């Protein structure tokens, strides 16, 4: 039986608006791709440790010194909407 994926749920998690046509195609394509990807379990046995980074690095530190950084004007220059030197967004919480 082909893999059943709750496309609506995944799209909600991804904050992604999809058309009905896109949902239909994705349901079909993701099923095929994931069935193929599930092949990894044939060899990924319990005794094999996972690798996150091929060339691991840890605790990369630098001296705690102030260096030049972007101005707030530069940081805000690409924003779709700005007010009082801040990013402006639509309402986040409900008004009582």
Residue 32 in the binding site for another protein (CB under 8 A): yes
Query: Binding another protein by CB under 8 A: which of 4, 44, 64, 85?
Result: 44
Nearer to another protein, 2 or 33 (CB): 33
Residue 74 in the binding site for another protein (CB under 8 A): yes
Contacts of 89 (CB under 8 A, 6+ apart): 81
Task: Quickly count: other Cβ atoms within 10 Å of residue 77's Cβ.
Answer: 10
Which tokens hold the place of 74? 């530069």
Residue 17 in the binding site for another protein (CB under 8 A): yes
Nearer to another protein, 55 or 66 (CB): 55
Is the Cβ–Cβ distance between 30 and 5 less than 8 Å?
A: yes
Q: How far is CA 83 from the centre of its chain?
A: 27
Task: State the nearest-atom distance from the C-beta of 2 to another protein, in Å.
Answer: 14
CA atoms of 41 and 27, how far apart (whole Å): 22
Contacts with another protein, residue ranges (CB under 8 A): 5, 7, 10-11, 13-18, 22, 26, 29-30, 32-34, 36-45, 48-55, 57, 60, 62, 70, 74-75, 77-81, 87, 89-92
């Amino acid at each position: 039986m082909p893999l059943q994926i709750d496309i609506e749920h995944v799209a909600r998690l991804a904050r992604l608006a999809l058309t009905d046509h896109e949902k239909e195609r994705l349901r079909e394509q993701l099923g095929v791709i994931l069935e193929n990807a599930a092949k990894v379990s044939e060899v990924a046995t319990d005794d094999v440790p996972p690798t996150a980074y091929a060339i691991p690095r840890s605790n990369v530190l630098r001296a705690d010194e102030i260096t030049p950084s972007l101005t707030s004007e530069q940081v805000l220059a690409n924003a779709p909407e700005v007010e009082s030197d801040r990013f402006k967004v639509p309402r986040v919480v409900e008004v009582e």
